[in-house]
A = this chain, B = another copy of it.
Amino acid sequence: ADGAALYTAKGCSACHGADAKTPIMPAYPKLAGQNAQYALNQMKDIKSGARNNGQTAAMKGIVMGISDEELQAIAEWLAAQ
């Protein structure tokens, strides 16, 4: 899967910025350069509900529509930014 294409197609860029480091709100994280394993774990935990603090409710709907393999591709693309 193409992480860069998924990052945009699945709507991540809308909140975290096209470059993954200009989020539209100060309460949203910058993601560029983050550890892939950490980023993947957070997306999976938001998807499962194991993490539901802060602004994650807005994100849960989005990650529900993304497979774990696709989340892995997105996490690896983020780590490379």
Taken together, the copies of this chain in the complex come to: 2
Taking A30-B34, A34-B30 as contacts, is the C-beta distance between A41 and B23 under 8 angstroms? no
Q: How large is the interface on A (under 10, 10 to 19, 20 to 34, 35 or more residues)?
A: 20 to 34
**In this assembly, does A33 line the interface, its C-beta being within 8 Å of a C-beta of chain B?**
yes
B41 and A54 within 8 A (CB):
yes
- Per-residue CB contact flags for chain A residues 31-61 toward chain B (1 = under 8 Å, else 0) read 0011111100110010000110110000000
**In this assembly, does A27 line the interface, its C-beta being within 8 Å of a C-beta of chain B?**
yes
- A21 CA / B53 CA spacing, docked (Å): 23
Which residues of A does B touch, CB under 8 Å?
A: 21, 23, 26-30, 33-38, 41-42, 45, 50-51, 53-54
